[in-house]
A and B are shown apart, each in its own frame.
Chain A
Amino acid sequence: MTLSKLYATMMNATALSVAIAGSVSAADLEFYFPVGVNAPAVETIQALTDEWATANPQHTVKAVYAGNYEDTTTKALTAANAGQPPQVAVLLSIDLFTLIEEDVILPISDIANTEEDKEWISGFYPGFMKDAQFEGKTYAIPFQRSTPVFYYNKDAFREAGLDPEAPPKTWDEMIEVGKALTVKDDSGNVKRWGTRIPTLGLGGAWLFGGLVVSKGDVLTTETGTEARMDTPATLASLEFLLRLAEEEVMAPGGITWGDTPKAFLEGQTASMWTSTGNLAFVEKNAEFDWGVGFLPGGDGPGAPIGGGNFYIMQDTTDEERAAALSFIKFMTSPKSAAKWSMATGYVAPRPDTWETPEMKAYTKRLPQALVALDQLAYAEREFATFQRAKVTQYLVDAIESVVTGNANPAEALSKAQKGADKVLSDYK
């Protein structure tokens, strides 16, 4: 072959591949995601992202670790305001109303409108889809969802003469069991508490939501304009928290979310209420026999649903949207979701994921992972309204003022309700 012929062939081949690539509409995606410092979690996201990128070479995707949930939402919004939003992001499910109001996300149901797509959307657990929908459209796709669960130290149970396979199911049982588990030292100081429920900040508000659900009520509805802060259920929940401290089952005062797993692992508390997303962390570091149960409930089991969903931003081209949708489908596919769930303990959002051989082996080895899934039947959406940050702050203030002994429950809740109503009045 002469040099010129070789050259011509090369040019033709290049032109052809460019044409092919062009016809599959290349897109550059920027993907914001929140995670904790759990090294495997960040790596897992990166690995999954790379996998999709390799399978879709015409697109590029850059995964940007943006901090914790709040930070990631803030960053996505500020980037959108500045005209440089990411194309796809995992953000809190409860940010739905804020994102809609600021007009930064588009209804995924609008672009996922083929029969195949619709079937794909219906393949997610309805529990997780509840807070992804507004006014009949689906705005988000569940990705890293969780409920809090009750972790307990089986060795501590045995020490206290309790059955390690029977975690408490009701609030009264929690107090009974908790009293037996609390250990004091010689000077009368508590060395190990019976249980630990975070009460500060948004983590505290999340768990509080679970208490309310277990009393048969909800904190917010799908309209996004209603906050039910002053109800018999919320009152009972606050009183339960106070009782736990009074009966010396739990430390009095504000309890942080971030230090809770560490306190549990260090034996400072015999049980803890925290996200199933901490499963991997506990498994890796626990030096004792441990188990997981439903959150003890007031009138029955109850839990809040939490975690993040995939959103596609409004400010995107058609190519970017198609690429983003493909990316989301990949990330929530059984294989990917299984990897993600096993790396963290988040609940895989599709039934078909739990049927994969990897997940079956995982749950056989770690049956604790199934608890969150089973609890899903009793779970309700997390606190979410328009102006969520502002309205939630009223709830947070109420809870914090009560557990630190600065207000009585009835007053605190009434004050919170007034504040919330004032903010939401604009939206009704």
Chain B
Amino acid sequence: MNMKLSFRLALIMLVIPCSLLVTFTHYPAIQAMINSFWNNGSSRRPSRFVGTDNYLTLIEDDRLMQVLFNSTIYAIGTIPLAIGLAIGMALLVNSRLPGTALMRLSFFMPTMLPMIAVANIWLFFYAPGIGLASQILEIFGLPSINFLGRTDTSLASMMFVAVWKEAGLFMIFYLAALQAVPTNLKDAARLEGASSGRVFLDIVLPLLRPTTIFVAVNALINAFRLVDHVIVMTEGGPNNSSSLLLYYIYEVTFRQRDFAYGATLTVLMVFTLGLLAIAQFWLLNRKAHYQ
């Protein structure tokens, strides 16, 4: 509609709600940038301007390199895996196999749980010697694996937890999309002799593209936003092998009380997310229309 917005209406409908949003999104981003040029103050020594000192620390920070590496692997690993599993689950649940309601419950249940509950469940599951994973390995005569205590398995273990939680949610989106696929298209293809596999690859999958984009964006956001499991299960360890960027920010700021460096890391994070957003935008504009 094209009505004119009066000042009074603008105030109520836009200014007040949006100022709340801006205060906790845009304002802090700018504050972080400003604060990254100052050092920490305490009662004994007030904070002073240090220019790019914090950024120099950032560049020389070995732990940060590990963290960035971890975050990249984590994103690259969890997103396709979650999507793939979600499509598979959606296909299974959408089929005419028996027990689909139970299947759907089982797949979707982890999504209902808070990540912290998921973390506790998996912490218990992974506990070497005591947890269910070990008990199962024992049945097969295999030695217990110290999933969370080894640098080569800790990140993968975290990734699996995240996928376990997310895939069910994405399955629901794919279910919707699958049910929206016109059956006459599939029937026509089958009549022409196409196998189930071909029907899927050539007809269904392309139609799922918009959903995939939506799900991928969601998964990407979550990969950065959700670090509850790292806090509870490994505290980023051992030796920072499972530390993710937001966890590192939490550790530096709230455990080590280094607010200045925390602000600097926040700037890095916002910058990274900004780049990713631009990349996504560019990619989206090149591909097919997404309503």
Do A and B share a direct contact in the complex (Cβ within 8 angstroms)? yes
Knowing A254-B146, A404-B150, the reply to whether A266 touches B130 (Cβ < 8 A) is yes
B239 contacts which of A190, A255, A256, A404 (Cβ < 8 Å)? A404
Q: Tell me if A164 counts as interface (CB < 8 A to partner B).
A: no
**Interface of chain B residues 162 through 196 with chain A (CB within 8 A):** none
Nearest residue, chain B, Cβ from A268: B129
User: Is the beta-carbon distance between B237 and A201 smaller than 8 angstroms?
Assistant: yes
**Interface of chain B residues 142 through 163 with chain A (CB within 8 A):** 142-144, 146, 148-151
Q: How far is B150's CA from A423's CA once the two chains are assembled, in angstroms?
A: 28
CB neighbours of A187 from chain B (8 A): 141-142
Q: How far is B235's CA from A77's CA once the two chains are assembled, in angstroms?
A: 20
CB neighbours of A77 from chain B (8 A): 257
Binds B, one of A96-104, A154-162, A304-312, A376-384: A96-104
Q: How large is the interface on A (under 10, 10 to 19, 20 to 34, 35 or more residues)?
A: 35 or more
CB neighbours of B146 from chain A (8 A): 251-255
Indicate the member of B149, B151, B241 with the most A CB atoms within 10 Å. Answer: B149
User: Is the beta-carbon distance between A400 and B144 smaller than 8 angstroms?
Assistant: no
Q: How large is the interface on B (under 10, 10 to 19, 20 to 34, 35 or more residues)?
A: 20 to 34
CB neighbours of B144 from chain A (8 A): 189
A255 contacts which of B138, B149, B235, B241 (Cβ < 8 Å)? B149
B256 contacts which of A103, A390, A403, A405 (Cβ < 8 Å)? A390
User: Is the beta-carbon distance between B256 and A404 smaller than 8 angstroms?
Assistant: no
B148 contacts which of A102, A186, A189, A256 (Cβ < 8 Å)? A256
Knowing A103-B42, A268-B130, A397-B240, the reply to whether A189 touches B142 (Cβ < 8 A) is yes
Q: Tell me if A70 counts as interface (CB < 8 A to partner B).
A: yes
User: Is the beta-carbon distance between A201 and B142 smaller than 8 angstroms?
Assistant: no
Knowing A102-B42, A259-B130, A397-B239, the reply to whether A254 touches B150 (Cβ < 8 A) is yes
Give the Cβ gap from A414 to chain B, nearest Cβ, in Å. 13
A-B pairs with the 5 shortest C-beta distances? A254-B149, A103-B43, A400-B239, A254-B238, A189-B143
- Which chain A residues have a beta carbon within 8 Å of chain B's beta carbons? 70, 74, 77-78, 98, 101-103, 186-187, 189-190, 200-201, 251-256, 259, 262-263, 266, 268, 387, 389-390, 393, 396-397, 400-401, 403-406
Given contacts A200-B238, A256-B148, A397-B240, 16 further A-B contacts (CB under 8 A): A101-B42, A101-B43, A102-B42, A102-B257, A103-B42, A103-B43, A200-B237, A201-B235, A253-B238, A254-B150, A255-B146, A256-B149, A266-B130, A390-B258, A393-B256, A400-B238
26 inter-chain pairs at a CB distance below 8 angstroms, sorted by A residue, are A70-B255, A74-B254, A74-B255, A77-B257, A78-B254, A98-B257, A101-B43, A102-B43, A102-B257, A103-B43, A187-B142, A253-B149, A253-B150, A254-B150, A254-B151, A254-B237, A255-B146, A256-B148, A266-B129, A268-B129, A387-B257, A389-B255, A397-B239, A397-B240, A400-B238, A403-B238
